[in-house]
Amino acid sequence: MDKATTAQNYFLEGYACSQSVLMAYADDLGIDMETAKKISSTFGGGMGRLRKTCGALTGAFMVLGMKYGNTYPKDMKTKLSAYEKVRKLAEEFEKLHGTTECKELLIKYADPAAVEKREHHKIICCSLVKDTIDILESIIKK
Protein backbone atom coordinates (compact mmCIF):
# COMPACT_ATOMS: atom_id res chain seq x y z
CA MET A 1 0.00 0.00 0.00
CA ASP A 2 1.37 3.45 -0.85
CA LYS A 3 1.91 6.20 1.72
CA ALA A 4 -1.07 8.28 0.60
CA THR A 5 -3.49 5.37 0.89
CA THR A 6 -2.02 4.38 4.25
CA ALA A 7 -2.43 7.93 5.58
CA GLN A 8 -5.97 8.23 4.21
CA ASN A 9 -6.89 4.98 5.94
CA TYR A 10 -5.53 6.31 9.23
CA PHE A 11 -7.53 9.49 8.75
CA LEU A 12 -10.73 7.57 8.07
CA GLU A 13 -10.11 5.56 11.26
CA GLY A 14 -10.34 8.84 13.17
CA TYR A 15 -6.77 10.04 13.47
CA ALA A 16 -6.10 13.73 12.83
CA CYS A 17 -4.77 14.81 9.45
CA SER A 18 -1.38 15.60 11.01
CA GLN A 19 -1.23 12.23 12.75
CA SER A 20 -2.22 10.38 9.59
CA VAL A 21 0.63 11.84 7.58
CA LEU A 22 3.33 11.31 10.21
CA MET A 23 2.07 7.81 11.06
CA ALA A 24 2.39 6.78 7.40
CA TYR A 25 6.14 7.52 7.62
CA ALA A 26 6.82 6.41 11.21
CA ASP A 27 8.54 3.13 10.31
CA ASP A 28 10.68 4.78 7.62
CA LEU A 29 11.75 7.46 10.10
CA GLY A 30 12.48 5.05 12.94
CA ILE A 31 9.74 6.49 15.18
CA ASP A 32 7.54 4.15 17.16
CA MET A 33 3.86 4.52 16.32
CA GLU A 34 2.83 5.75 19.79
CA THR A 35 5.36 8.58 19.63
CA ALA A 36 4.24 9.50 16.11
CA LYS A 37 0.61 9.60 17.26
CA LYS A 38 1.29 11.72 20.33
CA ILE A 39 3.76 14.19 18.85
CA SER A 40 1.43 15.02 15.95
CA SER A 41 -1.87 14.83 17.84
CA THR A 42 -2.30 18.54 18.55
CA PHE A 43 -1.49 19.73 15.03
CA GLY A 44 -4.79 18.56 13.49
CA GLY A 45 -7.53 21.00 12.58
CA GLY A 46 -5.01 23.61 11.57
CA MET A 47 -3.01 23.51 14.84
CA GLY A 48 -5.34 22.36 17.61
CA ARG A 49 -8.49 23.33 15.69
CA LEU A 50 -7.33 26.92 15.42
CA ARG A 51 -7.89 26.48 11.67
CA LYS A 52 -4.43 27.85 10.84
CA THR A 53 -1.86 25.89 8.77
CA CYS A 54 -3.39 22.68 7.38
CA GLY A 55 -2.65 19.73 9.64
CA ALA A 56 -1.72 17.48 6.73
CA LEU A 57 0.99 20.01 5.90
CA THR A 58 2.25 20.25 9.47
CA GLY A 59 2.42 16.46 9.61
CA ALA A 60 4.48 16.52 6.42
CA PHE A 61 6.72 19.24 7.89
CA MET A 62 7.40 16.85 10.77
CA VAL A 63 8.35 14.13 8.28
CA LEU A 64 10.77 16.53 6.59
CA GLY A 65 12.23 17.54 9.95
CA MET A 66 12.77 13.94 10.97
CA LYS A 67 14.29 13.04 7.62
CA TYR A 68 16.36 16.15 6.87
CA GLY A 69 16.44 18.29 10.04
CA ASN A 70 19.53 19.45 11.86
CA THR A 71 20.54 18.25 15.31
CA TYR A 72 23.38 20.70 15.92
CA PRO A 73 22.52 24.38 16.36
CA LYS A 74 25.38 25.64 14.19
CA ASP A 75 24.66 23.27 11.29
CA MET A 76 23.12 25.98 9.13
CA LYS A 77 23.59 24.08 5.87
CA THR A 78 21.35 21.23 7.04
CA LYS A 79 18.88 23.59 8.72
CA LEU A 80 18.48 25.79 5.63
CA SER A 81 18.19 22.77 3.34
CA ALA A 82 15.34 21.39 5.48
CA TYR A 83 13.65 24.81 5.53
CA GLU A 84 13.86 24.92 1.74
CA LYS A 85 12.07 21.57 1.51
CA VAL A 86 9.33 22.86 3.83
CA ARG A 87 8.94 26.00 1.69
CA LYS A 88 8.76 23.90 -1.48
CA LEU A 89 6.07 21.69 0.02
CA ALA A 90 4.01 24.69 1.16
CA GLU A 91 4.42 26.45 -2.20
CA GLU A 92 3.33 23.41 -4.21
CA PHE A 93 0.35 22.84 -1.90
CA GLU A 94 -0.66 26.49 -2.23
CA LYS A 95 -0.35 26.33 -6.03
CA LEU A 96 -2.71 23.38 -6.01
CA HIS A 97 -5.24 24.69 -3.49
CA GLY A 98 -4.77 28.47 -3.36
CA THR A 99 -4.02 28.50 0.38
CA THR A 100 -2.37 26.54 3.18
CA GLU A 101 -4.90 27.66 5.81
CA CYS A 102 -7.30 25.04 7.18
CA LYS A 103 -10.21 27.48 7.54
CA GLU A 104 -9.91 28.70 3.95
CA LEU A 105 -9.60 25.15 2.60
CA LEU A 106 -12.73 24.00 4.44
CA ILE A 107 -14.71 26.99 3.15
CA LYS A 108 -13.36 26.62 -0.39
CA TYR A 109 -14.20 22.95 -0.76
CA ALA A 110 -17.25 22.63 1.51
CA ASP A 111 -20.28 20.93 0.04
CA PRO A 112 -23.44 22.22 1.76
CA ALA A 113 -24.91 18.71 2.02
CA ALA A 114 -21.75 17.37 3.64
CA VAL A 115 -21.63 20.36 6.01
CA GLU A 116 -25.21 19.65 7.08
CA LYS A 117 -24.22 16.05 7.92
CA ARG A 118 -20.97 17.29 9.56
CA GLU A 119 -18.97 15.15 7.14
CA HIS A 120 -17.33 17.91 5.12
CA HIS A 121 -13.97 17.80 6.90
CA LYS A 122 -13.65 14.05 6.32
CA ILE A 123 -14.23 14.41 2.59
CA ILE A 124 -12.06 17.49 2.17
CA CYS A 125 -9.26 16.58 4.56
CA CYS A 126 -8.90 13.03 3.29
CA SER A 127 -8.22 14.46 -0.16
CA LEU A 128 -5.79 17.03 1.28
CA VAL A 129 -3.89 14.26 3.08
CA LYS A 130 -3.40 12.53 -0.28
CA ASP A 131 -2.35 15.71 -2.07
CA THR A 132 0.12 16.56 0.69
CA ILE A 133 1.75 13.15 0.55
CA ASP A 134 1.94 13.25 -3.25
CA ILE A 135 3.88 16.52 -3.00
CA LEU A 136 5.96 15.23 -0.08
CA GLU A 137 6.91 12.11 -2.03
CA SER A 138 8.08 14.23 -4.98
CA ILE A 139 10.33 16.22 -2.62
CA ILE A 140 11.72 13.12 -0.89
CA LYS A 141 12.47 11.41 -4.21
CA LYS A 142 14.52 14.35 -5.54
Tell me, what's the pLDDT at 123? 84
With CA atoms as reference, report the closest residue to 28 among 7, 58, 52: 7
Domain ranges of the chain: 3-140
Q: Is the pLDDT of residue 125 over 80?
A: yes
What DSSP string describes 9-24?
Answer: HHHHHT--HHHHHHHH
Q: pLDDT tens for residues 8-33?
A: 999 999 999 999 999 999 999 999 99
Rounded to two decimals, what is the model's pTM? 0.94
Percent of the chain with pLDDT strictly greater than 70: 97
Q: Which among 77, 66, 72, 73 is positioned nearest to 140, based on CA atoms?
A: 66
Give the mean pLDDT of the chain.
94
The pLDDT value recorded for residue 116 is 66
Neighbour tally for 84: CB within 10 Å: 13
